[in-house]
Structure 1
């Protein structure tokens, strides 16, 4: 199983070390046990770990976070979309690598990670993402049998802050905004189909079914570091989304003179990029629309997606239909995201229960009266 040997430190203190063979039959030693009993327990733990196939070679934990982090990032690069990979890479460069890069994975302690997380500045998303990157790297160390457990897990994290209040435009407000926009058809299309910006601007002529008035969402064009990356939609699934009849003419005009493979919006060749938030054409249109209608809130292109959900619910669309239109993974997600849009349903439930109770209260006394007369 192994052996225990006493030794004397330079300070004259008696200590113990253990010797044993690793699963690969190489000789291993570990020093620093204060009592023979501690050494015996350590040796027993090594024997149990070997028998269970859970042995962790101490030398394997000497690899640095820097080395494992670069490998982990490359692995993520191969499976994530550019828009999802970029935030992880940024968290690694700005937060994780400067703090932990030079450390070996086996030297990191849970208390150190907790202190780092607690002291980190920035929003909750920034903190959670940085912790997630370190935890992901150490997960790899655990899977590689370099560590017995991940000390970056079970960390107290800041509570996620709620998203800013969503803005929903009314039909008249959408039209006013479109009237002042450089791309009016795109504004109307986003507000009445619920497509994400990248999904709409990636539509090609062949994706439009004019007979059924539907578009097939198969691609997504996302701007990452000033470069447009085209991939699959967010859920990696294509979907068919209807558009209202009043959009048939604007869409036909956009498609006129273009080949099947050209883009529906824009010049047909270049993807329309998300306009700048400060002085882009969409912001300019919002300001002009507000001058005409002061009730119009300050909205972003993504708020048109929220508007589409709101208008669909107002029109009586079932939550499952809204889910399919927006491309959510499940109806539960749609309800979670847009729970406020379904508040009227709760009122309807209360009203229906009240009416049912009143009807029951009328029937019961009449039946009792008939029983008494009989």
Structure 2
């Protein structure tokens, strides 16, 4: 292996005949004394030639290179000194630990030198993540994280090119939502509540009430599961969100719709102590210890989920559950209700019985936002900034751009009433 990673010549190639290169058709291909060539694309031939000449004149870089782990730790240390949200730092650390530099497995760059990483290595990691069932958003976050680390190495003079630039744009992950939020009408929400109440009437915990809390308060499932008796103030008609799922801001929200009376009836019936959970876990199942242990062993060896599923003769979802689970006893009533238990045993049977099998619990939050903005809850259309504070979003643009959906029938209804000189009381579905 040579001691210097030096470019000896370059060549500019016109790729305008390729549809994928219509914006940057000129390839500047740089050749080393040994090893694979490196390419970068430019809009004009002059830019490609200038870049090639500059790279030939650049001082050589030690091919032995700095270990990628050292570069990543140095970059992460800089991020800790910046004014970043704790959740952002935790996300960086989690992606580095699980994907970029895992202790076990065949993927990642733990054993790589910073100069040995190529665009193909990054693409193979993204493919591995896709095979593992990771979302486009997660893959995009990891892709961006690798790019920031390589940018840091580039600024320190450890590499000549950022390998992230070698990944074609058509192969880069996208975080487009795979599922558009589908708001529920108020009548549909109450129908789901009644269906759950009729199916689970034998339980002393009113899990059906969680549906109304999700719709009228717009709370996430984890926030609802964490509600305790002392968080509900019936005298002031308010609810304290003590454990927000995101952004870390606790908030106190007014109880809307029929919730004050429904909660009062439930609390009188349940006779809870001050710190008791409103919706504790009363069901669940203990996973088979042998299969959980086997799944974890295969996971450590770098097996894919489909390989674990084939080895254990279970579905892909069950294999994922086994590989993540802990061998614990059944949930106690001091634990909040489990999300999977609620979805599989309570929510799904109810929506399937009503002919809405594609609806999810998180649709209640979107339904609340839309109902507040259109006045479908109390006849008043709430301003977006007030809805943002009520829901717990960090930015009102998140409230309007992502969650609020205006449908054609709402637009036509508004236009028809305006032409008649009548101001509609609200725009929501009847």
Q: Under TM normalisation by the shorter chain, which class is it?
A: 0.5 to 0.7
Q: Corresponding residue for 1:91?
A: 99
User: Equivalents in 2 of 1:178, 1:242: separation in Å?
Assistant: 21
- The residue correspondences of 1:310-325 to structure 2 (distance < 5 A) are 310-315=370-375, 316-325=381-390
Q: Corresponding residue for 1:266?
A: 280
Q: Corresponding residue for 1:189?
A: 213
Change (3 A) 1:353 1:190: closer
How far does residue 353 in structure 1 lie from its aligned partner after superposition? 9.5
Q: Corresponding residue for 1:235?
A: 247
Q: TM-score, normalised by structure 2?
A: 0.54
**Larger proportion of helix:** 1
User: Equivalents in 2 of 1:96, 1:342: separation in Å?
Assistant: 47
Deviations 1:296-345, CA, capped at 9 Å, x for gaps: 45311111111212222332222222222221112111111134237678
- The residue correspondences of 1:210-229 to structure 2 (distance < 5 A) are 210-220=234-244
Deviations 1:14-51, CA, capped at 9 Å, x for gaps: x9xxxxxxxxxxxxxxxx8xxxxxxxx99x966xxxxx
User: Equivalents in 2 of 1:277, 1:247: separation in Å?
Assistant: 21
Q: Residue 108 of structure 2 contacts residue 125 of structure 2 at CA under 8 Å; is this kept in 1?
A: no
* Secondary structure, aligned partner of 1:152: helix
333-342 or 195-204, which moves further after superposition?
Answer: 333-342
Q: Residue 275 of structure 1 contacts residue 281 of structure 1 at CA under 8 Å; is this kept in 2?
A: no
* Secondary structure, aligned partner of 2:235: coil
User: Equivalents in 1 of 2:414, 2:343: separation in Å?
Assistant: 44
Q: Corresponding residue for 1:174?
A: 189
User: Equivalents in 2 of 1:241, 1:264: separation in Å?
Assistant: 17
* Secondary structure, aligned partner of 2:400: helix
Q: Corresponding residue for 1:244?
A: 256
Q: Residue 218 of structure 2 contacts residue 364 of structure 2 at CA under 8 Å; is this kept in 1?
A: yes
Q: Residue 182 of structure 2 contacts residue 363 of structure 2 at CA under 8 Å; is this kept in 1?
A: yes
320-329 or 246-255, which moves further after superposition?
Answer: 246-255
Q: 2:114 aligns with which of 75, 95, 105?
A: 105
User: Equivalents in 2 of 1:214, 1:205: separation in Å?
Assistant: 12
Q: Is the aligned partner of 1:125 residue 2:137?
A: yes
How far does residue 199 in structure 1 lie from its aligned partner after superposition? 1.1
* Secondary structure, aligned partner of 2:239: strand
Q: Is the aligned partner of 1:62 residue 2:71?
A: no
User: Equivalents in 1 of 2:243, 2:272: separation in Å?
Assistant: 18
* Secondary structure, aligned partner of 1:275: helix
User: Equivalents in 1 of 2:241, 2:192: separation in Å?
Assistant: 25
Deviations 1:118-161, CA, capped at 9 Å, x for gaps: 86673633542442343344356467774576433685224433
* Secondary structure, aligned partner of 1:241: strand
How far does residue 218 in structure 1 lie from its aligned partner after superposition? 2.5
User: Equivalents in 2 of 1:191, 1:164: separation in Å?
Assistant: 19
Q: Residue 168 of structure 1 contacts residue 310 of structure 1 at CA under 8 Å; is this kept in 2?
A: yes
How far does residue 347 in structure 1 lie from its aligned partner after superposition? 5.9
Deviations 1:218-268, CA, capped at 9 Å, x for gaps: 214xxxxxxxxxxxx401212222222521133224444333332232377
- Which structure has the greater CA radius of gyration? 1
Change (3 A) 1:132 1:207: same
Aligned residues: 292
Change (3 A) 1:245 1:108: closer
Q: Residue 96 of structure 1 contacts residue 134 of structure 1 at CA under 8 Å; is this kept in 2?
A: no
Change (3 A) 1:162 1:141: same
Q: 2:147 aligns with which of 135, 139, 153?
A: 135
Q: Residue 117 of structure 1 contacts residue 127 of structure 1 at CA under 8 Å; is this kept in 2?
A: no
